[in-house]
Amino acid sequence: MNRYRRRTLALELAMIAGALFVAFPVYVLVNLAVRSTSDTSSPISPTTSPTLDNFTQAWQQGGLGGALANSLLVTVCSVAIVLAVSSLAAYPLARVTSHWSRGTYLLVLLGLALPFQLASLPLYQTMRDLGLLGTPWALILFYSGLQVPFTVFLYVGFLRALPRDFEDAALIDGCTPLQGFRYVVLPMLKPVTATALVLNAVAIWNDFFTPLLYLSGSTQQTVPVAIAGFVGQYVTDWNLIFAALVISILPVLLVYFLLQRSIINGFAGGLKG
């Protein structure tokens, strides 16, 4: 029987302290979001008379409905393209062991080392020449290329940890490599797909610089840019800003909780590879 030792107590106290450290900003965020603007007490003190008026005002004054729709369109389309392209690209990179495969994989990983800010000016000029500035399709095209290297890295690591027995059996039965991938390999990629989905969705949903650059001057904005508009016009009314932040967090938080188990399994499998 394992005894309860001082080391166990110390680990538990450390975990509790870590949880409190992470939960404290969330508490302040929600506490101020439901607080009336007339309440000038400390942000740490609990709100005695919570109200939902801040959410209503933030939704109406910040145009969060349209911003959420734009963010949802950009995120869903970009993530769908990234997952499709990355899974198809990672399959031969993980299974073929020739020199060209290794070289191509290293070339793809080079995209993780190079900051996208280096290409901001030529990409902006390209979007302008294509007539996509001021539209969500510029963001979809940008993210579809930006997130592929990282997603391929996740898929390749997970695929290398999977046995090839099922694929070989499918090929012996007459399946083509593409059919083997679709009907045999793809269902086994569910954990890492969920991981890649959430990580890419969070990165795209929270990005501020790219929408500010490509949608500047247009009426179509994403959630981070719409929230930033509160700072200039409602600089003293932080309750509206925090309420808008809570609204923006809820969609991604919901997706994360729904896919939590698959995310952990997929990330662990990718690390093994």
pLDDT in tens, 123-133: 888 888 888 88
CA 65 vs. chain centroid, Å, equals 20
pLDDT in tens, 9-20: 888 889 999 999
Contact indicator for 248, 224 with CB cutoff of 8 Å = yes
Tokens 């959630």 correspond to what residue? 223
Tokens 């800003």 correspond to what residue? 241
Q: Which residues touch 146 (CB under 8 Å, ≥6 apart)?
A: 111, 116
Tell me the whole-structure pTM to 2 decimals: 0.82
> 79 pLDDT exceeds 90?
yes
> 76 pLDDT exceeds 90?
yes
Contact indicator for 23, 1 with CB cutoff of 8 Å = no
Q: How many Å apart are CA 127 and CA 141, to the nearest integer?
A: 9
Q: How many Å apart are CA 128 and CA 217, to the nearest integer?
A: 13
pLDDT of the residue at 169: 82
Q: Tell me which of 236 and 122 has the higher pLDDT.
A: 122
Tell me the range of 150-154, 165-169, 257-261 where mean pLDDT is highest.
150-154
Q: Tell me which of 203 and 62 has the higher pLDDT.
A: 203
Q: How many Å apart are CA 135 and CA 211, to the nearest integer?
A: 10
Contact indicator for 32, 46 with CB cutoff of 8 Å = no
- Write down the mean pLDDT value for the chain: 83
Q: Which residues touch 245 (CB under 8 Å, ≥6 apart)?
A: 29, 33, 227
Q: Which residues touch 66 (CB under 8 Å, ≥6 apart)?
A: 219, 220, 221
